[in-house]
Amino acid sequence: MLSDLSERIVSEMNTETVFTIPVFGGIGVDEGTVVTWIVMAVMILASFLLTRNLRVDHISKRQAAVELFVTKLEGVVLGVIGPDGQQYAPYLVTVLVYIGFANIMGVFGFKPPTKDLNVTIALAVMSIVLVQAASIRKRRVGGWLKSFAKPLAIVTPFNILDLFTRPLSLCMRLFGNVLGAFVVMILLESFVPVGIPAVFSLYFDFFDGFLQAYVFVFLTSVYIKEAIELSE
């Protein structure tokens, strides 16, 4: 029974190659990519359907709900990043919605794409590139290089180390949390198949999934705010 269980966990944790594109000797397409496509399709379809017939006055209930949703999410990001970072809000909100959606894919019977380390590494690298680009944009290249020696020249090595530890901890946090929740849910389901898993799914899939999406975007916003703050 126990060896069955460990085999099942290992097989669930592996990311399978769904199909192979027959060019350049075969490019494998992972499960995470396919589920990401599903998430993308749903998100694009939803935003397409929800933003039709937008009006300035006499707005429909649908438009009011969408506007409330978008304003709330933007408020979450802008509350951290400040009005200076307005231009980064659309990207951050998109990442927030994507990770939030990806984390609850387990409820619909898919493996969450964020359980795949490749996906979280890509997200973390995108975040850190955006942070550095924001810093260069605000301070120019000279100011960006100088910012590594602030507040004291002696902290320069640590600031450079931060370039690598920040994305590492971002991607590991998201990956570890989602994978941990996933493994716990499998264990629960194999011992108590009915009833109890649904209650715990509320915590592990919804609460933890949305919290981790928020934490990821929140930390990225904090880094961007730090990067675009001009301290003389």
Partner 1 sequence: MSLTAIAAGIAVFTGIGAGIGIGIATAKAVEACSRQPDASGKIMTLLILGGALAEATAIYGFVTALILILTQ
Question: Which residues bind to partner 1, rule: CB under 8 A?
Answer: 10, 13, 79-80, 169, 172-173, 175-177, 179-180, 214-215, 218-219, 222
Q: In terms of CB distance, is 13 or 133 closer to partner 1?
A: 13
- Shortest spacing between CB 232 and partner 1, in angstroms: 25
Q: In terms of CB distance, is 60 or 169 closer to partner 1?
A: 169
Q: Which residues contact 228 (CB under 8 A, 6 or more apart)?
A: 84, 85, 134, 135, 137, 138
Q: In terms of CB distance, is 70 or 172 closer to partner 1?
A: 172
Beta bridge mates, 29: 19
**Torsion angle (degrees, nearest 10) of CA 210, 212, 216, 217:** 20
- Shortest spacing between CB 63 and partner 1, in angstroms: 28
- Shortest spacing between CB 79 and partner 1, in angstroms: 8
Which sign, positive or negative, has the C-alpha torsion 220, 223, 224, 225? positive
Q: In terms of CB distance, is 6 or 53 closer to partner 1?
A: 6
Beta bridge mates, 21: 27
- Shortest spacing between CB 187 and partner 1, in angstroms: 14
Peptide bond before 151: cis, by omega within 30 degrees of 0? yes
